[in-house]
Amino acid sequence: MTDNAVRPHPEARSSGRFVRPAVMQRLAGATRDEHQHIENNLLLARLLQADDCVTHYRRVLAGFYGFYRPLEEALLAHPRVVTDTTLHFRLGKYPLLAEDLHTIGLSQNQLAALPRCEELPPHRHWQEVLGVLYVLEGATLGGQLIRKHLLTHLEPRWHGALRFYSCYGSQVGSHWRDFQRLMDSYLGEASASEQDLETTIQAARSTFGLLDRWLATTARQAAPAIVQGRQPAVAVTR
């Protein structure tokens, strides 16, 4: 991914310390229930409970790939995203999922056969795109807990399959702060109406809900051949 800097919003800092914009506080409060619900999703919860978790991890990656690929492709085609270079590097996660799945045992044919989510969150309007991105970017924070667990519980030969959960490297915190400033510049009181913010909130809620249901479906319907994948003697790295 290309690292594009986002200029700090002039009101986002106080005495050199980052202050979470009011719009982000509104979004967090309005989506708290949906956020908590997906944290209890069985597919994700089992990943953190498993000791020998490579098979289950493969299922998790397949589930995310089936959701992220069609969603990111749709977002990248949005006219506002096409011209907003500050967002491009944030929409390159599904190729990382593909590389992780290849490393952990899926062939190209198996990758192509993975089911893809057809019911995507609303993304026609710009404010809806921002709501979707709020969920996708926020997931990079929670992903650090999962990454830490996997580094401990996966065999070292599979550590090369952590590209998705390492997408921002050591810059997770700074990218999240930059994203909050970006959201404030588009949805802050000086830039948007209450209706704009409500549209963003509803899109974020929809994204949480659809992802939650998609992962639940993945847990129930994962094909054995895809869950098992290949078992190379040595993990493939790129």
d(CA 100, CA 128): 29
User: pLDDT per residue over 5-38, tens digit each?
Assistant: 333 333 334 446 888 999 999 999 999 999 999 9
Q: What is the pLDDT of residues 31-90, one digit of tens each?
A: 999 999 998 898 888 888 866 578 889 999 999 999 999 999 999 999 999 998 888 889
How many angstroms separate the CA atoms of 230 and 217, rounded?
Answer: 23
- The pTM (predicted TM-score) of the whole model is 0.85
pLDDT range class, residue 1, cuts 50, 70, 90: very low
Contacts with 202 (C-beta within 8 Å, 6 or more apart), sequence order: 122, 128, 131
Average pLDDT of 95-115?
A: 95
Question: Does pLDDT of 134 surpass 90?
Answer: yes
Q: Tell me the C-alpha distance between 184 and 172, whole Å.
A: 18
The whole-chain average pLDDT of the chain stands at: 85
3-state secondary structure of 13: strand
Average pLDDT on 142-170 reads 92
pLDDT tens by residue, 202-229: 999 999 999 999 999 987 765 444 444 4
CATH architecture classification, 21-227:
Up-down Bundle (1.20)
Task: Give the mean pLDDT of 162-190.
Answer: 93
Q: Where are the domains of the chain?
A: 21-227
How many contiguous H segments (helices) and E segments (strands) does the chain have? 12, 2
143-146 long-range contacts (CB < 8 A, ≥24 apart) are 143/167, 144/172, 145/48, 146/44, 146/47, 146/48
The average pLDDT across 168-197 equals: 91
